[in-house]
Homo-oligomer: A and B are copies of this chain.
Amino acid sequence: MKKLWQKDEKDSSKLVEDYCFSDGVALDNNLVNHDVYGSIAHTCALAKLKIITNLELEKLVKCLKEIIDLNKKGKFIVTGGDEDVHTKVEKYLTEKLGDLGKKIHTARSRNDQIAVDMRLYTKEELLNIAVLINKLTDTYLHFAEKYEFIPMPGYTHMQKAMPSSIGMWIGSFVESLMDDSKMLQTTYELNDQCPLGAGAAYGLSLPIDRELTAGLLGFSKVLNNSLYAILSRAKSHTVVMQSLVQVMLTLSRFAQDMLLFTTSEFNFFKVDSQLCTGSSIMPQKKNLDIMEFLRAKTHVVIGYEQMVNSISAGLPSGYNADFSETKGPLMKSIGIVKESLKVVDLLINSIKPNIEILSNSMTKELYATHAAYELVKKGIPFREAYVKIGTSLDELPQYNSQEILKMSTHTGGTGNLGLKKIQKDFSKQENYWLKEKKKYMSVINKLIA
């Protein structure tokens, strides 16, 4: 199929085409709407430049909106020969509108076009991820409140250490996700800059109104320097990847905990068998595959991040085709993070603590530190108390676990987890994202109204 940049009919090699475009083409189907959004905004700028008339503007916009409809119906599929979504869209316009379609690429390059598509796509997906983080945070928070004082052993080095509680354990995930959300917010803000109008990387000799297009698309600012607007493409993906890794790190800890706590040796939690998978050979097996996949997928996302980092490193200034190879890792990672957040939410909603087993697990050695502190209160220097207890562990009394948990009243202790205060902070976080989502949707709805 003839490419935008072909001046004659000689075909480029099939092998070359496959090597460069075949992966990207499949991924470009995620970008159809965003390419249309960008094109509508660009068309408005062309009208302002008088490159096209208002009537032509109307025709182009109408035709572009058709693509959104077709896409919704699954009838606008970018395929192998299309090279990319931009070419497909331009061809559609040319087929429908003739010479007018040939005007749309004035003052635009596929370089700024893909940059704006990716930033719109990323914006939308970061909002989706934020909503899922909020949902899971909320689920964790309720679980922590429900079982706040159910005792469970606290481990260090995988060995029994000190008394802990489900409240403290699950509360640690709540706070971890809230830190992740803060990082995501900065990522969101750094992403929220409009590269459209930067052309191939060096701007244009036409006075295109970049503030206009940025505003129509709902970006909070124009991404100024044309060169930076284009080459930040890969770099802006690394920023996103890093905030995705943060979420996966939080969840992977939960995965490892669940795998450990649901062994028959620990057996701290009951899991709904619908969330387990079986074995083809062993009739008795109930495996928590989802948590093993989560553990593995964390390394997948870390690996994707490293790919994007390494691809970006050491490239010379200007647009480089290498950038294209960062699209896949980003899109796949976004998919993994969304699914992982949902899977954990599903799991949390299905587990029940085995309260008696947890209670029986609160063995004496967990209280050794507490016993040492009792000696300290009697005036013995801590290091001596420590040795005294450490050399007479057999004599440790059996404490009441609930009492001990409630006795730890300092900020963030088992008796003072501050779940109410966290709930308040969390509401602020929720509102931030809801507001951003609403803002984005209203801009887009207006654009394609």
Contact = CB atoms under 8 A, between A and B. Distances in A.
A215 B331 CA distance: 43
Contacts of A252: 313-314
Interface stretch (A70-78, A127-135, A226-234, A437-445): A226-234
Nearest to A298: B313
A9 B418 CA distance: 43
Given A210-B412, A296-B322, A103 B161 contact: no
A139 interface: no
Contacts of A279: 5, 109-110, 156, 161, 200
Contacts of A102: 381-384
Instruction: State how many copies of this chain the complex holds.
Output: 4
A400 interface: no
Contacts of A342: 15
Given A154-B201, A158-B320, 19 more contacts: A3-B277, A3-B278, A16-B277, A18-B339, A19-B293, A99-B381, A103-B383, A105-B281, A171-B225, A172-B228, A172-B317, A174-B225, A175-B225, A182-B186, A210-B410, A224-B417, A238-B245, A242-B245, A295-B322
A413 B296 contact: no
Interface stretch (A32-40, A115-123, A253-261): A253-261
Interface in A175-203: 175-176, 179, 182-183, 185-186, 189-190, 197-203
14 contacts: A4-B280, A110-B280, A154-B202, A156-B318, A157-B321, A161-B202, A172-B231, A203-B410, A204-B408, A207-B409, A225-B417, A249-B309, A293-B325, A303-B304
Given A179-B190, A296-B311, A229 B407 contact: no
A211 interface: yes
Contacts of A369: 199-200, 204-205, 281-283
Given A162-B202, A204-B413, A393-B283, A300 B311 contact: yes
A106 interface: yes
A346 B390 CA distance: 26
Contacts of A197: 410-412
Given A105-B382, A316-B260, A11 B413 contact: no
Given A182-B189, A387-B7, A319 B156 contact: yes
Nearest to A414: B203
Contacts of A384: 99, 102
A3 B189 CA distance: 45
Contacts of A402: none
Contact of A155 (B161, B185, B317): B317
A323 B295 CA distance: 11
B368 A287 contact: no
A68 B427 CA distance: 44
A422 interface: yes
Contacts of A5: 277-280, 285, 390
A209 interface: yes
A373 interface: yes
A7 B319 contact: no
A283 B368 contact: yes
Nearest to A387: B7
A302 B310 contact: yes
Interface in A381-423: 381-384, 386-387, 389-391, 393, 404, 407-414, 417-418, 422
A188 to B, nearest CB: 11
Please name the 10 residue pairs, one residue from A and one from B, whose CB atoms are nearest each other, closest first.
A5-B278, A303-B307, A283-B390, A203-B413, A102-B381, A292-B321, A157-B287, A296-B322, A102-B383, A109-B281
Contact of A111 (B156, B276, B324, B411): B156
B313 A274 contact: no
Interface string A245-275: 1101110110111011011111000000111
Nearest to A3: B278
A334 interface: no
A63 interface: no
A412 B229 contact: yes
Given A299-B307, A311-B299, A257 B316 contact: yes
